[in-house]
Amino acid sequence: MLFRLLNAWRADLVGKLMIALAHRGARNRTVFDRIARSIVSQVFVVPKKDDFMADEFIDNDTGYDLEELRRYQRGE
């Protein structure tokens, strides 16, 4: 969603808006503060299909065990 905002508006305006919303969301005193926090959380969440940092091995808790890694490091 952040990419859409940056393409639609000037980047400096989006940056100032997000800083102001993050500042208000950090207070969490009024209803608007809670709304600002939810807006910031929705804008900065990367969709699962676009998240290049997501790794199936980590998400599914599969991968190498310690002995396999040691054998690999020793060259076996």
Q: What is the pLDDT of residues 7-66, one digit of tens each?
A: 666 777 777 888 888 888 888 889 999 988 888 888 877 777 777 777 776 667 676 777
Of 3, 2, 8, the residue nearest 21 (C-alpha): 2
| More confident of the two residues 73 and 51 | 73
Q: Report which of 41, 9, 7, 4 is spatially closest to residue 22, judged by C-alpha positions.
A: 41
Confidence of residue 3 (pLDDT cuts 50, 70, 90): low
b/e per residue 51-71 (b: at least 16 CB within 10 A): eeeeeeeeeeeeeeeeeeeee
Output the pTM of the full model.
Answer: 0.50
Distance CA 50, CA 8 (A): 20
In this prediction, residue 31 carries a pLDDT of 92
